[in-house]
């Protein structure tokens, strides 16, 4: 208690290095993390408490308590307690296992070792024992244990490199540096141990990119910022060791602060069920009251006289009290409307569906041998109701591999594959890639399909040479040679890696660099260029240049950058080439490639010297330095000669485009939430076809202040809604009208819009007063891209949509930065097979490739939803039919709470007699779906469709009207009609339908089939009432037909058959037969299992019935089985069978007929047909839909350069270049130049990954 | 590398029809006409069955005599519980106009169903409240409210062959119970002498005789095995019910059933019903193949059949209309 109070009060944090006692005063959290929910002691109470919070469980507990009271117990107590205990135990075991694994993963993390400097010695200490203020040592490729203040590192100037993929999803390496005062400490333990600086900094928070603090040491103060901090979750790269002081530990770290809370997830059906259980309970209470009043009246009017007749004076009761008791008795009797077996069956069905997901070979990724995994088994049917998908970009949509795809050199495009006719074709297996085997240094994984470029190189085209030379010179890549003599490039931006590797394969091999030189092997000869100046990249310049002197003494400026910027700097003589290249660039950009323009300039010696002098002067300046330098850079980067352009592909994962296309056809909105740059994000948007040039507008919200953001949002909205909205705002409009208007506006918006918003703006836009605007705007847009968002913002966006739109959301991601989003969405999907596990651990479903999402949602999700809804409809129907008979009987038995059936029948009905067929349906059923051609639909399907009006969806969507959703809502019957129509087409019986591969394929082919789930059409309150009405009707038929028939009737031999027991047997038998016929009609996919279960259930019923009514069992337990001989006697009577038959016909036929006639009621038949025609036209080409590259307009990627500022300086200063013989402290030497240097570690990692370009790929964890 | 590929193999889900959700599914081949004919067939069946049932119900010859009011004096006497040992008989003459093939003869009373089930064991008094023990604590045999309220009128049917001499119509008291009830469910305590077997128990408060003296003529018809007792203990489902009393013994004059003529019922009136506004009647009835069927079943069958036919016609109408539309659709 004290601790948490303390935490909330923490305003600033004071940490003293190497002084645990001092730091203990503040009671900072230690480095242990807890993600688990229970401990051994708290498990039982907390878990039980949680479980009984479920309405259903509480309901059953209440019933159980009622049954324990002998005065009102009309059913034996074990009918409730056994299943209840079973359910509770099952859930508890599941929760316990889940928590056990959480404990295990916590333990695993908590027990990781890190080296802590204690008593001037490095000691291995478990992570959980690391305290704030400790100094710990990290080695290359280690996870950072806590949020650290970097003190010193192996690299010069206290630099270290970290990968922050876990935190923000960005994969390029980032540089952190120690303060110069502390970096002097080096690896000297004694000095480090004496370090007693005090850090005063902000309290723990979740801002990943901000840190402010002050270090006081040796009487001086040094300000600290984010550059000095390495955060937990990062991985140390390219740095053999570093020392850091723990500032935030455990739950206070920014990583943990960013991970959302674990929530108990429930499906919307669960929530609906909760409501329904309450309603049903209300319904029960009503029935109970009616019957109790009846009982009181009866007791008053008849009971008294009746009692005197029996000399029953001692048992005299107050009629009101008797009514009261009767009420409770009836509550118990009628409780089976919601039987506990419903919940058990739901769990079983979901479990079955989860197994189907695990078993699906089509979701198995052989590349990483990862099958799909349903990690939770309670959410399956919600997969069929997804409206919003929130996707991470890096690692989810993209493979995070950059490939050099195309280039334009001197007005000539390379990289396109043309067939013999000179037409562009797609790259197929037939095309031979360019053979780079002549070049021993070539990267094997690099593939290029256009042989002309190689030919040009061989022919000695000088422009091509210059182009490749530029690629080999103008970059920030570092090279190393591994033990095998292979060149390894260490890149901080994968784009650059792609370019340098391309140059390498075409014979311009970047070999090594020093601060002053760059060595390139040009077609076999080593050439060393003098690096004269490095004009670094920044966000404003959007370009970088190098100035080099080649061995001939010529000075050249090589520049690459965003085309828009670079083209302004060109020499006028480039005009022709410029237009040509511009066309090419548009073409590249149209294909979603990341483009760069490339240019050079020859400089004369004198001019350069003057310029260089001025640069040095400027550097020496104290004020206005940056402006001056920028001016100088501008000055020299002009009159450039255009060389061409490059196009790099940010390789999408396989099938991403198809998946996104089909998901959007399924009316699922996909939002991309990425920590990456705006440009990259937009680029990927185009690459995935999420953004297209056909879009009417793409709104970009990139304001930095709340006011700006608001203004931008307002403008976008105005743009979107046009005059429609603004005119209405002029008048006083009631809120309600306004709302109506909004919905009208929503309807009337045509055309596609997209919204791009960045993290800063999002922070403002998520504030309460603006967020509705944002939401409204975003939901109008077809595509939403949020870039530069923090993990917490991702979760906030998900929450926003989840709460305000009331929509079912799914979040998919692969990294730790997606965890919070995965946790807060209704369904979280983790991309598995990557190295990091956090996302998968937090997820509900996991698989290896984004494209499996399509199958997960459209097949598994849709089926699960379909099955679950059918199951629920049937179950409610069945139990209403079963239970309400008691209500009718109440009027004929003096409201005495006598049960109609045998107690055994009541106990077994839901568990044994009727559970398996409906389970089989719930697990194996498959929606019948059109196969595209009508002639294949057999007449049986037609009958089935009639019988399953409740689940008409498939055809409705195919033959219906995917565009107008309202239409479906208004007249769901239309679909029925369509179905019927559909069925009538094929009066000729088709061949036996072998359903293999039909249903799931059509689910994929017609994504529109998904819509009923989103609209909640298959099971909702209305459907529930229909089921209820159906059940009530059946119960009426079940009761009153036997009642009428039994009234004053004798058996064949004159003996009485109208006794209570015969009546019970007749009713029970009719009930079992009626519900079996009904399930037979409801089952659309009759597998062997269905056959066995349906026939088997009926058979089981009769065998159990005869067994329980046999002499033998009566002899053993005379009190438990009083129905001896009943089945034998009753079921040999013709009359009873006639009653059963009539009951069955009367309960089933009207339902079939009603469903049939419903179809007749649809008004606009011709409309439907026309729409169907349209829909078919629309739906047909879908099958063969391929990613299209027809775009030709002028959209251009502004600057697709995942690049960071500051590397140029590092290179020219030589800071990041390891000296050949670094002055090392003896203790560390071994570890450093051990065989396990970072390069090798790095290689190890990369060889594991399958795809090309491994050397240049930054490993994402 | 090889190891991982092996691992991969093991992780790859099996390619079985069950796991891939591709179990062969059977679908019956039914044409639209088949469906409709199925409906028509159902309709025909129901109609036919309904007509047969109605006809057979009509063929039943039945005489019902409500004797509560006729025997008003006795009824009044029985209202006072203290008079239960006073005998009261009344005679009801009636005329049977035509020959009836009477197989059985039943009496009907109006009563209520009871909550309590029968306990066949003497000592088990658990479910018998409030009639489990008498005031002095001795257990009641048979216990329970149902047994207590046993129907104890005796009905004798006599036929006036001539104008003066009434002949007692021979009646069988056997075969009125279910076999299982008589031989499995109800058992007398094993003892040579019934009265000693029931020693230590007392008779239910409404009973005139103890259970082991129910039938003075046939010693085997006593105790729990008394047929009337067994019939009574098979609780009716509804408040109004008929129970089999005796069957006609087809001997002498009655080989062909009951001949036409003057009859009379001589009823020893014991069972009090007026206090709870009940009514008793005695019914003479014949049986048909389906038992003593009532009109209800036949009527409902007929109605169901008619409705099914109607439905079939409308379905056919829809079918045909849509066929026309299909032509229209193609023309477009």
Question: For residue B84, what pLDDT is reported?
Answer: 64
Residues B55 and B163 in one domain: no
Question: Long-range contacts for A307-312 (Cβ within 8 Å, ≥24 apart)?
Answer: A308/B81, A308/B275, A309/B149, A309/B272, A309/B273, A309/B275, A309/B276, A310/B131, A310/B145, A310/B148, A310/B149, A310/B206, A311/B81, A311/B148, A311/B205, A311/B206, A312/B130, A312/B131, A312/B145
Overall residue count recorded for chain A in this entry: 1261
Nearest to B296 among A361, A894, A1047 (CB): A1047
Lowest mean pLDDT among A95-99, A1257-1261, B31-35: A1257-1261
Q: Is the pLDDT of residue B174 over 50?
A: yes
User: Would you state the pLDDT for residue B172?
Assistant: 79
Choose among A364, A1049, A1146: nearest Cβ to B292: A1049
**Quick one: pLDDT band at residue A1100, thresholds 50, 70, 90?**
very high
- Distance from the A321 Cα atom to the nearest Cα atom in chain B, whole angstroms: 18
- Across the interface, of B129, B185, B242, the residue whose CB is closest to A1124 is B185
pLDDT of residue A1143: 94
* Residue A1015 · residue A807 · CB < 8 Å: no
* Cβ A1185 vs Cβ A659: under 8 Å: no
Q: A989 and B29 in contact by Cβ < 8 A?
A: yes
When pLDDT is cut at 50, 70 and 90, the band that residue A3 belongs to is: very low
Instruction: Check B322 against A981: CB less than 8 A apart.
Output: yes
| Residue with more model confidence, A1140 or A1011 | A1140
How far does A104 lie from chain B, in Å, by closest CA?
23
Is A91 in contact with A51 (CB distance < 8 Å)?
yes
Cα dihedral A841, A842, A847, A850 sign: negative
The pLDDT value recorded for residue A1232 is 35
Q: Is residue B329 part of a domain?
A: no
**Based on the number of CB atoms within 10 Å of its own CB, is B170 exposed (0-12), middle (13-18) or buried (19 or more)?**
middle
A369 → chain B, closest CA residue: B8
The verdict on A1116 touching B (C-beta cutoff 8 Å) is no
Q: Are residue B161 and residue B42 in the same domain, yes or no? A: no
Q: Does one domain contain both B148 and B262?
A: yes
Residues B49, B160, single domain; the answer is no
Confidence of residue A827 (pLDDT cuts 50, 70, 90): very high
pLDDT single digits (tens) A399-411: 877 888 888 998 8
Of A140, A170, A172, the C-alpha closest to A155 is A140
Q: Are residues B89 and B137 in the same domain?
A: yes
pLDDT higher than threshold 60 for residue A1002: yes
Chain-chain contact of B311 with A1149 (C-beta, under 8 angstroms): yes
**Mutant choice from B178, B245, B283, B293 vs A, greatest count of A C-beta within 10 A:** B178
Q: Are A235 and A796 in contact (CB under 8 A)?
A: no
Tokens of A642: 């255009």
Q: In terms of domains, do B54 and B157 share one? A: no
The pLDDT of residue B29 is above 70: no
pLDDT of residue A304: 67
Quick check: B314 and A1157 CB within 8 A? yes
DSSP annotation of B171: E
CB B235 to CB A1059 under 8 A?
A: yes
State the Cα–Cα distance between residues A1207 and A1210, nearest whole angstrom. 5
pLDDT band, very low/low/confident/very high, at A1013 (cuts 50, 70, 90): confident
Report the pLDDT averaged over residues A1239-1260: 35
The pLDDT-based confidence of A1180 (bands split at 50, 70, 90) is: very low
State the pairing for strand pair A417-418/A594-603.
unpaired
Residue of B267, B224, B262, B261 whose CA lies nearest to B246 = B267
Q: What is the pLDDT of residues A846-873, one digit of tens each?
A: 998 899 999 999 999 989 998 999 999 9
- Chain B residues with CB inside 8 Å of A1125's CB? 178-181, 184-185
> Over the stretch A281-305, which tens digit does the pLDDT of each residue have?
899 999 999 999 998 888 877 766 6
From B265's Cα to the closest Cα of chain A, the distance in A is 20
3-state secondary structure of A518: strand
Instruction: Kindly state whether residue B324 falls inside one of the protein's structural domains.
Output: no
Name the closest residue on chain B to residue A368, using Cα atoms: B8
Tell which wins on pLDDT, A440 or A612: A612
Instruction: Write down the mean pLDDT value for chain B.
Output: 73
Q: Is residue B141 part of a domain?
A: yes
Structure-block tokens of residue A978: 């369509």
Burial (0-12, 13-18, 19+ Cβ within 10 Å), A789 = buried
CB spacing of B22 vs A997 below 8 angstroms: yes
CA closest to B278 among chain A residues? A306
Q: Is A423 on the interface with B (CB under 8 A)?
A: no
Chain B within 8 Å of A593 (Cβ-Cβ)?
no
Give the residue-averaged pLDDT of A232-261.
Answer: 83
Neighbours of A727 (CB within 10 A): 9
Q: What percent of chain A has pLDDT over 70?
A: 79
Residues of B in contact with A1142 (CB under 8 A): 46, 297, 300-301, 304
Residues of A in contact with B131 (CB under 8 A): 310, 312
Verify whether the Cβ–Cβ distance B287 to A1043 is below 8 Å.
no
pLDDT at residue A354, as a whole number: 92
Active site residue A392: yes
**Position A1190 confidence tier, pLDDT thresholds 50, 70, 90:** very low
ipTM value for the complex: 0.88
Q: Do B289 and A371 touch (CB under 8 A)?
A: no
Distance from CA of A1116 to the nearest CA of B (A): 12
In a domain, B30, yes or no: no
Residue A522 in tokens: 């040009």
Residues B39 and B94 in one domain: no
Buried b (16+ CB within 10 A) or exposed e, A525-561: eebbbebbbbbbbbeebbbbbbbbbbeeeebbbbbbb
Name chain B contacts of A1134, Cβ cutoff 8 Å. Answer: 289-291
Are residue B46 and residue B68 in the same domain, yes or no? no
Q: State pLDDT tens for residues B261-275.
A: 888 888 888 777 777
C-alpha to C-alpha distance for B276 and B267, rounded to whole angstroms: 20
* Tokens linked to A424: 């562009």
For residue A249, what are the CA distances in angstroms to A103, A204, A262, A815, A919?
A: 19, 9, 20, 21, 50
In chain B, the residue whose alpha carbon lies closest to the alpha carbon of A1057 is: B236
Question: Same domain, yes or no, for B132 and B142?
Answer: yes
Where is pLDDT greater, at A561 or A1165? Answer: A561
Which one has a higher pLDDT value, A1168 or A245? A245
Which comes out higher in pLDDT, residue A663 or A951?
A: A663
- φ, ψ of residue A1249 in degrees (nearest 5): -75, 145
**Within a domain: B29:** no
Same-domain status, B213 and B201: yes
Hey, what's the torsion of the CAs at B201, B203, B205, B209, to 10 degrees?
-160
Q: How far apart are the first and last CA of chain A?
A: 37
In the DSSP assignment, the letter for residue A663 is H
Number of domains observed in the structure of chain B: 2
Name the packing angle between helices A1021-1046 and A862-890 (round to 10°). Answer: 40
Interface test with B, best of A76, A309, A866, A1171 (most B CBs within 10 A): A309
Angle, CA A1134 vertex, CA A1128 and CA A1139 arms, to 5°: 100
For residue A1245, what pLDDT is reported? Answer: 37
Do the Cβ atoms of A1135 and B179 come within 8 Å?
A: no
Q: What is the C-alpha separation between A992 and B30, in angstroms, rounded?
A: 11
Whole-number pLDDT of residue A1132: 87
Q: Could you tell me if residue B166 is inside a domain?
A: yes
Other beta carbons within 10 Å of A2: 7
Across B141-208, where does the E strand assignment appear? 154-160, 166-168, 171-172
Q: Mutate one of B206, B208, B277, B291 to test the A interface: name it (highest A CB count within 10 A).
A: B291
pLDDT on residue A1072: 95
Q: Are A1086 and B235 an interchain contact pair (Cβ–Cβ within 8 Å)?
A: no
pLDDT of residue A1010: 83
| Residues facing residue B171 across a β-bridge | B248
A569 — phi, psi (to 5°)?
-95, 5
Inside any domain, residue B149: yes
Q: Which residues of B touch A980 (CB under 8 A)?
A: 318, 322
**Statement to judge: residues B165 and B281 lie in one domain:** yes
Residue B4 falls inside a structural domain:
no
A313 band by pLDDT with thresholds 50, 70 and 90: low
Instruction: Select from B237, B257, B289, B331 the residue whose CB has the most chain A CBs within 10 Å, as the one to mutate to test that interface.
Output: B237
**Mean per-residue pLDDT, A918-923:** 92
Catalytic hit among A134, A270, A360, A392: A392
Give the distance from residue B216's alpha carbon to the nearest chain A alpha carbon, in angstroms: 24
What are A1176's two structure tokens? Answer: 């078919």
Is residue B297 domain-shared with residue B286, that is, in the same domain? no
- pLDDT, greater one: A173 or B299: B299
Give the count of alpha carbons within 13 A of A481, CB side only: 10
Segments forming the whole domain that contains residue B101: 61-291
């Amino acid at each position: 208690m004290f601790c948490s109070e303390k935490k909330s009060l923490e305003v600033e944090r004071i940490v003293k290095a190497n002084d645990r006692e001092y730091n203990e005063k503040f009671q900072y959290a230690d480095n242990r993390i807890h993600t688990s929910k229970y401990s051994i002691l708290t498990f039982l109470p907390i878990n039980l408490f949680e479980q009984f919070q479920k309405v259903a469980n509480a309901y059953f507990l209440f019933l159980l308590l009622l049954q324990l009271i002998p005065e009102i117990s009309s059913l034996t107590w074990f009918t409730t307690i056994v299943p209840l205990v079973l359910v509770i135990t099952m859930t508890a075991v599941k929760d316990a296992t889940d928590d056990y694994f959480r404990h295990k993963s916590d333990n695993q993390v908590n027990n990781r070792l890190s080296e802590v400097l204690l008593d001037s010695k490095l000691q291995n200490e478990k992570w959980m024992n690391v305290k704030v203020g400790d100094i710990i040592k990290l080695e290359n490729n280690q996870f950072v244990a806590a949020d650290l203040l970097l003190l010193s590192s192996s690299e010069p100037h206290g630099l270290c490199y970290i990968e922050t993929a876990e935190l923000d999803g960005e994969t390029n390496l980032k540089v952190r540096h120690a303060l110069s005062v502390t970096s002097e400490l080096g690896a000297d333990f004694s000095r480090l141990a004496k370090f007693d600086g005090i850090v005063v900094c902000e309290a723990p928070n979740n801002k990943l990119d901000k840190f402010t603090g002050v270090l006081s040491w040796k009487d001086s103060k040094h300000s600290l910022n984010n550059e000095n901090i390495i955060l937990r979750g990062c991985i140390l790269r390219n740095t053999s060791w570093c020392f850091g002081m723990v500032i935030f530990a455990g739950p206070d770290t920014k990583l943990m602060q960013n991970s959302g809370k674990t929530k108990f997830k429930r499906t919307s059906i669960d929530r609906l069920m909760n409501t329904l259980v309450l309603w049903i309970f209300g319904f029960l209470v009503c029935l109970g009251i009616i019957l109790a009043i009846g009982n009181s009246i009866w007791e008053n009017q008849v009971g008294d006289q009746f009692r005197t007749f029996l000399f029953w004076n001692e048992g005299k009761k107050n009629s009101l009290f008797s009514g009261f008791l009767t009420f409770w008795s009836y509550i118990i009797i009628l409780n089976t409307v919601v039987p506990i077996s419903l919940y058990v069956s739901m769990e079983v069905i979901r479990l079955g569906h989860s197994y189907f997901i695990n078993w699906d070979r089509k979701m198995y990724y052989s590349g990483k041998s990862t099958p799909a995994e349903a990690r939770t088994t309670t959410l399956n049917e919600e997969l069929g109701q997804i409206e919003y998908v929130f996707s991470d970009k890096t690692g989810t949509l993209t493979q995070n591999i950059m490939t050099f795809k195309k280039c334009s050199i001197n007005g000539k495009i390379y990289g396109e594959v043309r067939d013999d006719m000179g037409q562009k074709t797609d790259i197929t297996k037939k095309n031979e890639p360019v053979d780079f085997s002549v070049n021993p240094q070539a990267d094997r994984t690099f593939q290029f399909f256009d042989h002309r470029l190689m030919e040009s190189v061989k022919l000695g085209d000088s422009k091509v040479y210059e182009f490749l030379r530029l690629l080999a010179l103008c970059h920030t890549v570092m090279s190393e040679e591994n033990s095998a003599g292979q060149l390894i490039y260490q890149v901080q931006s994968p784009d650059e890696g792609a370019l340098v590797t391309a140059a390498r394969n075409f014979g311009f091999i970047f070999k090594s660099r020093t601060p002053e030189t760059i060595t390139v092997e040009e077609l076999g000869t080593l050439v060393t260029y003098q690096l004269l100046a490095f004009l670094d990249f920044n966000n404003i310049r959007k370009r970088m240049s190098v100035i080099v002197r080649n061995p001939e003494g010529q000075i050249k400026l090589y520049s690459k950058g965003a085309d828009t910027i670079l083209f302004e700097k060109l020499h006028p003589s480039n005009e022709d080439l410029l237009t040509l290249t511009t066309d090419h660039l548009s073409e590249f950009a149209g294909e979603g490639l990341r483009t760069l323009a490339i240019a050079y300039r020859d400089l004369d010696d004198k001019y350069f010297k003057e310029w260089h002098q001025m640069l040095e002067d400027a550097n020496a300046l104290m004020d206005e330095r940056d402006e001056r330098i920028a001016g100088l850079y501008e000055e020299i980067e002009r009159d450039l000669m255009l060389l061409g352009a490059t196009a790099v592909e940010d390789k999408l994962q396989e099938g991403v485009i198809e998946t996104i296309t089909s998901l959007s056809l399924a009316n699922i909105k996909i939002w991309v939430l990425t920590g990456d740059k705006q440009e990259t994000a937009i680029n990927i948007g185009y690459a995935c076809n999420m953004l297209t040039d056909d879009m009417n507008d793409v709104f970009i919200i990139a304001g930095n202040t709340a006011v700006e953001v608001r203004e931008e949002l307002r403008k976008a909205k105005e743009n979107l809604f046009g005059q429609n909205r603004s005119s209405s705002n002029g008048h006083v409009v009631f809120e309600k009208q306004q709302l109506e208007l909004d919905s009208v506006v929503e309807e009337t918006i045509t055309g596609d819009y997209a919204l791009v918003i960045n993290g800063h703006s999002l922070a403002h836009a998520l504030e309460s007063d603006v967020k509705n605007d944002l939401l409204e705007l975003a939901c109008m847009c077809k595509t939403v891209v949020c870039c530069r968002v923090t993990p917490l913002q991702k979760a906030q966006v998900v929450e926003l949509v989840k709460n305000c739109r009331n929509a079912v959301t799914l979040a998919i991601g692969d990294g730790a930065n997606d965890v919070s989003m995965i946790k807060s969405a209704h369904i979280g999907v983790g991309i598995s097979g990557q190295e990091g596990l956090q996302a998968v651990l937090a997820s509900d479903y996991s698989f290896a490739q984004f494209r499996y999402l399509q199958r997960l949602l459209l097949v598994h999700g849709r089926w699960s939803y379909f099955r679950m809804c059918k199951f629920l409809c049937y179950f409610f129907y069945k139990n209403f039919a079963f239970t309400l008979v008691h209500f009718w009987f109440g009027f004929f038995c003096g409201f005495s709470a006598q049960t109609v059936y045998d107690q055994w029948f009541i106990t077994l009905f839901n568990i044994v007699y009727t559970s398996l067929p409906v389970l089989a349906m719930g697990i194996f059923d498959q929606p019948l779906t059109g196969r595209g051609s009508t002639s294949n639909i057999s007449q049986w399907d037609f009958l089935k469709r009639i019988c399953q009006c409740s689940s008409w969806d498939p055809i409705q969507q195919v033959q219906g009207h995917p565009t107008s959703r309202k239409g479906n809502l208004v007249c769901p019957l239309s679909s029925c009609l369509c179905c019927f129509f559909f069925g009538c087409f094929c009066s000729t019986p088709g061949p036996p339908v072998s359903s293999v591969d039909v249903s799931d394929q059509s689910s994929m082919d017609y994504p529109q089939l998904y819509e009923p789930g989103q609209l909640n059409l298959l099971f909702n309150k209305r459907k529930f009432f229909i089921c209820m009405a159906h059940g009530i009707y059946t119960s009426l038929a079940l009761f009153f037909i036997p009642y009428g028939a039994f009234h004053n009737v004798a058996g064949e031999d004159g003996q009485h058959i109208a006794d209570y027991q015969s009546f019970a047997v007749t009713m029970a038998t009719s009930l079992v037969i009626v519900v079996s016929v009904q399930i037979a009609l409801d089952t659309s996919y009759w597998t062997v299992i269905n056959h066995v279960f349906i026939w088997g259930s009926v058979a089981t019923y009769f065998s159990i019935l005869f067994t329980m009514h046999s002499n033998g069992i009566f002899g053993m337990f005379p009190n438990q089985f009083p129905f001896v001989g009943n089945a034998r006697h009753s079921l040999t009577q013709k009359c009873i069978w006639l009653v059963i038959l009539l009951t069955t016909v009367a309960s089933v036929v009207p339902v079939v007929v009603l469903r049939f006639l419903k179809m007749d009621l649809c008004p606009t038949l011709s409309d439907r047909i026309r729409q169907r025609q349209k829909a078919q036209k629309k739906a047909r080409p879908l099958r063969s839909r391929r990613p299209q590259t027809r775009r030709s307009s002028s959209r251009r990627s502004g600057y697709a350069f995942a690049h960071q500022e500051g590397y140029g300086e590092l290179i020219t200063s030589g800071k990041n270049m390891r000296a050949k013989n670094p002055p090392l402290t003896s203790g560390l030497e071994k570890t450093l130049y051990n065989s396990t240097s970072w390069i090798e570690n790095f290689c190890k990692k990369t060889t594991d990954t399958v795809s090309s370009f491994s050397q240049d790929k930054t490993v994402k964890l | 590398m090889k190891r991982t590929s092996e691992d991969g193999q093991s992780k790859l889900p099996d390619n079985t029809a069950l796991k891939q959700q591709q179990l062969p599914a059977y679908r019956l081949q039914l044409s639209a006409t088949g469906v409709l004919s199925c409906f028509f067939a159902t309709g025909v069946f129901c109609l036919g069955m309904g007509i047969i049932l109605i006809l057979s119900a009509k063929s039943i010859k039945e005489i019902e005599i409500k004797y509560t009011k006729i025997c008003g004096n006795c009824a009044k006497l029985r209202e006072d519980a203290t008079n239960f040992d006073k005998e009261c008989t009344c005679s009801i003459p009636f005329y049977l106009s035509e020959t009836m093939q009477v197989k059985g003869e039943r009496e009907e009373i109006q009563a209520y169903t009871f909550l309590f089930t029968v306990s066949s064991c003497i000592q088990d008094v658990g479910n018998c409240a409030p009639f489990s023990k008498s005031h002095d604590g001795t257990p009641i045999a048979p216990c329970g409210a149902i047994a207590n309220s046993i129907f104890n009128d005796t009905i004798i049917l006599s036929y006036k062959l001539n104008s003066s001499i009434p002949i007692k119509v021979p009646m069988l008291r056997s075969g009125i119970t279910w076999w299982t009830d008589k031989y499995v469910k109800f058992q007398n305590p094993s003892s040579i002498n019934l009265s000693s077997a029931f020693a230590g128990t007392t008779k239910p408060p409404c009973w005139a005789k103890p259970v082991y003296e129910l039938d003075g003529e046939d010693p085997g018809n006593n105790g729990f095995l008394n047929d009337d007792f067994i019939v009574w203990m098979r609780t009716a489902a509804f408040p109004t019910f008929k129970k089999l009393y005796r069957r006609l013994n087809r001997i002498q004059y009655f080989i062909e059933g009951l001949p036409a003529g003057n009859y009379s019922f001589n009823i020893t009136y014991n069972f009090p019903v007026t206090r709870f506004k009940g009514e008793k009647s005695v019914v003479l009835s014949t049986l048909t193949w389906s038992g003593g069927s009532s009109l209800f079943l036949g009527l409902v069958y007929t109605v169901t059949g008619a409705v099914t036919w109607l439905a079939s016609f409308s379905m056919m109408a829809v079918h045909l209309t849509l066929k026309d539309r299909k032509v229209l659709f193609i023309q477009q």
